[in-house]
Amino acid sequence: MPPFVVEIIGYLASAFLVMSFAFNKNVVKLRIMSAIGCVLFVVYGFLLHAYPMVIANVIIVGINMYYLFFKKKSS
């Protein structure tokens, strides 16, 4: 994959995470945008062979999914 494409994925991931916290008063939208950013960081981490980044973002995606789908039903 061309290096500029890898960089674009990283910038998109960063943008989604920043937007998730900066522009969302709705917690559901915040978690969705955060999850998208984290998934992009997982892809970015794999492309860079930065596995600590992959592990951290997989965990964050899991936490977001838990609160979006499971915690919501039990509340």
Distance CA 50, CA 45 (A): 5
Residue 4 CA neighbour count, 13 Å, CB half: 0
pLDDT tens-digit readout, 1-39: 899 999 999 999 999 999 988 887 889 999 999 999 999
Look at residue 58 and tell me whether its pLDDT is greater than 80. yes
Residue 66 CA neighbour count, 13 Å, CB half: 6
Look at residue 74 and tell me whether its pLDDT is greater than 60. no
pTM listed for this prediction: 0.87
Q: What is the DSSP letter of 18?
A: H
So what's the pLDDT on residue 72? 63
> What is the mean predicted confidence (pLDDT) over 49-72?
94
Please state, rounded to an integer, the average pLDDT across all residues of the chain. 92
Helix, strand or coil for residue 52?
Answer: helix
So what's the pLDDT on residue 73? 61
Would residue 49 be called left, alpha or beta, if left means φ above 0 and alpha means ψ between -120 and 50 degrees? left
